[in-house]
Amino acid sequence: MKNVKFKNRIKAVSLFANVGIAETYFDDLGIDVVVANELLEERGRFYNHLYPETNMIIGDITISEVFDRVVAEAKANDVDLLIATPPCQGMSCAGRKDPKDPRNFLIYYAVEAVKQIRPRFVMFENIPMQQHTQILYNGDYLFIPQYVENELGDYYNFNEQHIVNAMDYGVPQSRQRYIYLLSAKTEDVKWEFPEKQQDIITMEEAIGSLPSLDPCLREETEKWRFPDFEEKKRKGLEVSKWHYPPVHSWKQVEWMIHTPTGKSAFKNETFFPKTKGRRIKGAPRTYMRMSWDKPATTIMQNSGVISAFSTVHPGRPIVESDDDTKREYSDARALSIYELLILSSLPLDWDIPEWASDVLIRKVIGEGIPPLLIKRAIESLIIGGKYDR
């Protein structure tokens, strides 16, 4: 696709901004984020590192002083676009799906901000489960989509296709999201997602050429098991300072050595997850390797943990066998941060601050929406509304 951007640069406000992952390609699109809000100071500091020109307001948007300040700054700057990505843990399948989780009600503040600011364009992003999540509205419980449409339907046109998968728009990751694309009725344009791309990018295509890495073992007494660890790590760091292995315990690594591509260690006859010799219980997609011939599964905030949902590198066969006591596969580890950048469609030279811990980096990537999906959506708006003319 040609370089698509607003001919006349527009201004934006970002709510629940995380570290600004959604905004990664905004500058290329002709968008300046003039004000942003994030609850957590550490993430606000990360955001400021990436976007020093943006007025980052750190604080709880449910507090009137913070909310009023964000709205006042946005109105003073006459913003054209509002994006909001409220936290989804309260309704996520990876969370407890608690209908009373206060995070489910943060959509109130995003909607109220839209009503007060009246930007030309609005993007709300969350997980598909929001369509089945109810919140209190005028004394009754309504599903979140009903609430949003009731509150904003008089002022905005809504997109028809709400549930999208990032893998259909050039991202090598299967990640479903529920996204509202709103355009003011005065704009006389219907904002929709572009057509899906025909070619789905697999993990093989995305990260298959990267150097293999041995896991970094937590136990010093077990490190002899990987005599090539340092040499492999050196080759990885030649590619990127972020291509190094996470730290794991030997027992989990051993289970994954004997687990083939696309399978869970729970399927093994001998080397399955256990404690005191007894099989432990767990979700079928935990202790699981991803598949080379598919996009990555949804990357979550605990992407460095083998026992989390489908976090383990696909690996390559060293010894192939139906007998898991003989079978061995390489890369018995979670993905490196560099691999996460690729699979999340972040720039390979993403300017991660030196002070950021691995845990923080993985959390913000896992909670962020793949920015290429956002870029494709906004390109569709620009083309559809002829804003590049």
Kindly tell me if the per-residue pLDDT of 93 is higher than 60.
no
Q: What is the reported pLDDT for 344?
A: 98
The ranges assigned to domains in the chain are 10-197+369-384, 214-335
Kindly tell me if the per-residue pLDDT of 114 is higher than 70.
yes
For the stretch 173-212, pLDDT in tens is 999 999 999 999 999 999 999 999 999 999 999 999 999 9
Q: What is the reported pLDDT for 67?
A: 98
Rounded to two decimals, what is the model's pTM?
0.94
How many of the other CB atoms lie within 10 Å of CB of 201? 19
Kindly tell me if the per-residue pLDDT of 106 is higher than 70.
yes
What is the secondary structure of 120-131 as a DSSP string?
A: SEEEEEE-GGGG
Average pLDDT, integer, range 285-313:
97
Q: What is the reported pLDDT for 376?
A: 98
Cα 23 from Cα 21, distance rounded (Å):
5
What CA–CA distances, in Å, run from 10 to 26, 38, 167, 369, 375? Answer: 10, 21, 28, 21, 15
Average pLDDT, integer, range 251-278:
96
What is the percent of the chain with per-residue pLDDT over 90, rounded to a whole number?
86
For the stretch 36-53, pLDDT in tens is 999 999 999 999 999 999
Mean pLDDT of the chain: 93
What is the secondary structure of 177-239 as a DSSP string?
A: EEEEEEEEGGG-----PPPPPSPPPPHHHHHTTSPP---EES-GGGGGG-TTHHHHHHHHHHH
Cβ neighbors of 270 (< 8 A, separation 6 or more) are: 258, 324, 325
List, by residue number, the catalytic residues: 88
Cα 104 from Cα 134, distance rounded (Å):
8
Q: What is the reported pLDDT for 104?
A: 66
Average pLDDT, integer, range 53-68:
98
CATH architecture label of 10-197+369-384: 3-Layer(aba) Sandwich (3.40)
What is the secondary structure of 321-384 as a DSSP string?
A: -SSTTT-EES--SBPPHHHHHHHTT--TT----TT--HHHHHHHHHHSPPHHHHHHHHHHHHHH
Q: What is the reported pLDDT for 367?
A: 94
Structure-token pair, residue 97: 């799906």
**pLDDT-derived band of residue 100, with 50, 70 and 90 as boundaries?**
low
For residue 120, list its beta bridge partners.
none
Coil vs helix vs strand at 66: helix
